[in-house]
Amino acid sequence: MDIVDQDAFGIPCTQLALSGAQFSFAVPDVQGTYKGSISTDGDAITGTWDQGLPMPLVLIRKPPATVTELSAQLTEIDAMVANAYNKKPSGGLTIGVVSDSQLIWTKSYGNADTKNHLPANIDTVYRIGSITKMFTAVMLEQLVETGKVHLSDPVRKYYPEIDNVQGRFPNAPPITLIQLATHTSGLGLEPDNVERYVQGPVADWEKTLIAALPHVHYVFEPGIRFSYSNIGYAVLGAALARAAGEPYLEYVPAHIFRPLGMAHTALKPNAEIKPYLSTGYEVEGDKTDTETPLREQLGRGYKVPNGTAYTNVKDLARFASFLMGNGPESALKATSLEQDLDQIEVPSNSWLTGGYGLGFMVTRRDGYVAFGHSGDVAGYQAALYINRDKKIGLIVLANVGGSESIDAEEIALKSLDLLSK
C-alpha cells in the first residue's frame, strides 16, 4: 500500500482474503484493516477502512483512455502536427499516443528517406539523443535493487578515473552516483575542446571518455545545485558497468531492451534496425546536411550512455508503459520503480516550474506535471513525455534537426496538454 501524502510507499499488506465478492486485507505497520465488496463488473470495491476510526473507502478502477474517448483531441493533434510539418517540410516525423499499456494511436508525416521517396511509418527507426539517459538511469535503479550499488556510493569506488577531473573544490566531498544521475555533481556540461572527444566508434567510447576527463572541470561544488552534464552521464554509465561487471553496450540491451520487448532499439546500428533506419537531415537556412548525421552514426566519441540510442515509436511506447508502472517486473519491480520516481529528491528551479529527477525531466504545465525527456543529435530529434496521473504518454520522433526544423519537444508537450484536459 502507498500513502502518497505521507511519502510512504510499498507498505506491506497481509491477511489478504477473497471469498466470493468479499475482499479484505490488513496493514500491520499502520494498524489498519480494510473490508469491502467487489462490484459485479469488477471495476470498484465498496468498503470500510478501519485505523481506529472506521471510514468508508471506495476503490475504483480507472480504465485507460481509448481512441474513441480521445477522438476530438487526436483530431486536433493531427491538424497541429500536419500544420507544423507543412511549414517546415523537411525529413519526417512519427507521433504516438500511449494509454497505460497500449500504443493507441500513431501517425507519420513526411519521409524517412527523402531522396528515395520512402515515407516515414510506424516502423521507422530514429535516433533519440538524450532520452538514452533514461535507460542509463534504469540501469542504476536495477543495480540498486539487486544490491550491487547504493545511490549514495562515491563514484570513485567504481570509477577512480573521476579523480582526473580538474578544479575540485577544496575539502568538497566526493561526488556520488545519485548526483551524477540528477545532474547535481557539479561537473561541467562537456570537456574542453569537446569536438575532439565526440568522435570515434561506439566500441571505443570509454577510451574516449577516459581521455576526456582531464579536460573536464567542476563548475560547482557537488550537491549544491542542478547543472546539466553530458559528460557526467557518460561517467555514470561507465561506473555502473564496472559495478555490474558487464560492459554498458552489453548490459543495457540484455537487461533493459530485451525484457521490455524493444526488438528495434539499439545503441548502434545493427541488422535488426538498419532496414528501418531513417536518414538524418540537419537544416540550417537553405542548406541541408546529411553527411554529418551519417558520420555520427559511426560513433559520437564518449557520448554513449548519454545520447546514442536508436528506436521506433512502438518500442518507445513499451518503455513509456514501463515508466507508467506496467512492468515487466523482470526489468524492475513496480515498487522499486515507484520509489525511484516518486521518493527521490527532484532538484528544481526556484520557481518550481521544472526540475530533474533520477534520469527524467519534470515540467509544470497547466493543471499537471509532464514527466519524461527530450533529445537531439545531428539530424534527429525526439521527445517522450507522460502525464503519470492520467497514465497517458506522448512520443514524437523526427529525422530532422537544425534551426529550420520543426520542434519535437514543443509538439510533444502541446499534444500532451490537449490529452490532459
CA atoms within 13 A of residue 10's CA, in its CB half-sphere: 10
Cα separations in angstroms, 79 against 42, 96, 104, 353:
38, 14, 18, 28
Q: Are strands 126-127 and 310-311 parallel, antiparallel or unpaired?
A: antiparallel
Q: What is the DSSP string of 364-384?
A: E-SSSEEEEEEEEETTEEEEE
For position 223, what pLDDT does the model report? 95
Which pTM value belongs to this model?
0.90
Beta bridge partners of 93: 109, 398
Strands 281-284 and 400-401 turn out to be: parallel
- Band of pLDDT at residue 263, cut at 50, 70 and 90: very high
Please check whether residue 130 is in contact with residue 377, taking contact to mean a CB–CB distance below 8 angstroms: no
CA 83 to chain centre: 28
What pLDDT is attached to residue 267?
98
- Phi/psi region, residue 306 (left: phi>0; alpha: psi -120 to 50; beta: rest), is alpha
What is the share, in percent, of the chain residues with pLDDT greater than 70? 100
Contacts 24+ apart (CB under 8 A), 204-209: 204/299, 205/234, 205/248, 205/249, 205/299, 205/301, 205/302, 205/303, 205/304, 205/308, 206/238, 206/241, 206/248, 206/302, 208/301, 208/302, 209/234, 209/235, 209/238, 209/302
Structure confidence by residue, pLDDT tens digits, 199-212: 999 999 999 999 99
Average pLDDT over residues 387-412: 96
The answer to whether residue 7 scores a pLDDT higher than 80 is no
Least confident of 5-19, 123-137, 294-308: 5-19
Count other Cβ atoms within 10 Å, centred on residue 344.
Answer: 14
How many Å apart are CA 91 and CA 279, to the nearest integer?
8
Q: Which residues contact 191 (CB under 8 A, 6 or more apart)?
A: 197, 212, 213, 215, 216, 231
Neighbours of 291 (CB within 10 A): 11
Smallest CA-to-CA distance from 338 within 392, 373, 388, 390 is with 388
Residue carrying the nine cell digits 539487486: 146
Q: Does residue 306 contact residue 130 with C-beta atoms inside 8 Å?
A: yes
Residues 238 and 234: their CA atoms lie apart, in Å, by: 6
Domains of the chain: 4-60 (no CATH), 71-133+251-419 (3.40.710.10), 135-248 (3.40.710.10)
Instruction: Give the model confidence (pLDDT) of 45-79 as tens digits.
Output: 999 999 999 999 999 888 889 999 999 999 999 99
Mean pLDDT of the chain: 95
Q: What is the pLDDT of residue 62?
A: 80
Cα 94 from Cα 73, distance rounded (Å)? 17
**Residue among 207, 215, 231, 239 at smallest CA distance from 167:** 215
Is 131:374 a contact under the CB 8 Å cutoff?
yes
- Given a cut of 90, whether residue 1 has pLDDT beyond it is no
Lowest mean pLDDT of 4-8, 187-191, 348-352, name the range. 4-8
pLDDT at 4 over 90: no
Q: What is the pLDDT of residue 2?
A: 82
Q: What is the largest CA-CA distance in the chain?
A: 72
pLDDT digit string, tens, across residues 338-358 = 889 988 889 888 888 999 999
Residue with cell 497517458: 392
Partner residues linked to 284 by β-bridges: 287
pLDDT band at 81 (very low <50, low <70, confident <90, very high): very high
From residue 198, how far is each of 22, 165, 376 by CA, in Å?
61, 17, 14
E-assigned strand segments in 301-348? 310-311
At which residue does the C-alpha cell 534496425 appear? 273
Q: Are residues 247 and 196 in contact, defined by beta-carbon separation less than 8 angstroms?
A: no
Exposed e or buried b per residue across 206-215, where buried means at least 16 C-beta atoms within 10 angstroms of its C-beta: bebbebbbeb
DSSP state of 172: P
